[in-house]
Amino acid sequence: MPTNRLGKSDLYVSKIGLGCMSLGTEETKAVEIIKQALDLGINYLDTADLYDLGKNEEIVGKAIKGQRDKVILATKVGNRWTAGKEGWEWDPSKKHIKSGVKNSLHRLQTDYIDLYQLHGGTIEDNSEETIEAFEELKKEGYIREYGISSIRPNVIQRFTNSSGIISVMMQYSMLDTRPEEYLDYLHTNDISVIARGSLAKGLLSSKGLEKAKEKAKDYMNYSYEELIELLGKLEESEKTRPLQSTAFHYCLHHPAVAAVIPGASTVEQIKANVAAIQYPALTAIEYKRLKELLKHSQYESHRE
């Protein structure tokens, strides 16, 4: 499996990772999915302390036991919950981050995290305190590197200018091209993008058009009618590869994007994702054709 470097770090992640949020809480099934991903060459696993209130991290920890050295392990912090209390609160404080990392390490059954990410962020946050916490965790050896998960330009710019982040995770797909406004900026600053949602909730998979017709719902700024029309055009535009492959390689075309991290709830989905990434990268001509198609979509016209 080809890998890409995250920023200027020593971390090299497979071009396709596994977003663990959709694994579910049935442990045997979830562990099987993770092990299949590793067997197929995926080395990047992304979880968060918030997923299933820590259960997801526990499952990931059990699945990678004995194979920790083969995995680039990423998790997130910033959402604090209290046992017995419904919901969670945003807390990017140094105190919470430094206690949260220890809880995550315990659940993951490891003594270090490769990539620790702030799970959100607002312009009102005390970012100096947050950055100080991550830098201290690096020095103490609890984490190797840190990044953020955000699509807010002001938050991204603040961390780019004031911290040592190596990555920004953001929702990015052919149906949500907002990140393209600052991909060049991040690349210039040697910060990698980790693309989540690259299949747009399955709409950009081989059964995407079928799913869209079944749900008969809008997506992002697309009306149902616009979505059906665009998905049909996307399927027609690429005859040499499945739409799923086009979706992954579209995101990976920009050098800022180090990895796509689709989720999976079955072993079959993992196999399909890995098969899709094996197709050749998009040529410049193929990419330009897709860009033109998207440019004339209704969603793009709303943005102009």
Q: Which residues are catalytic?
A: 51
Cα(201)–Cα(163) distance, integer angstroms: 32
Q: Which helix (H) or strand (E) holds 145?
A: strand 143-149
Give whole-number Cα distances, 266 to 12, 229, 304, in Å.
26, 29, 39
Task: Report yes or no: 6 and 146 within 8 Å, Cβ to Cβ.
Answer: no
Tokens of 140: 């103490």
Q: Which residue has the tokens 């312009």?
A: 123
Who contacts 86 (Cβ-Cβ below 8 Å, separation ≥6)?
Answer: none
Concatenate the DSSP letters of all residues of 225-263 into one string: HHHHHHHHHHHHH-SSS-HHHHHHHHHHTSTTEEEE--B
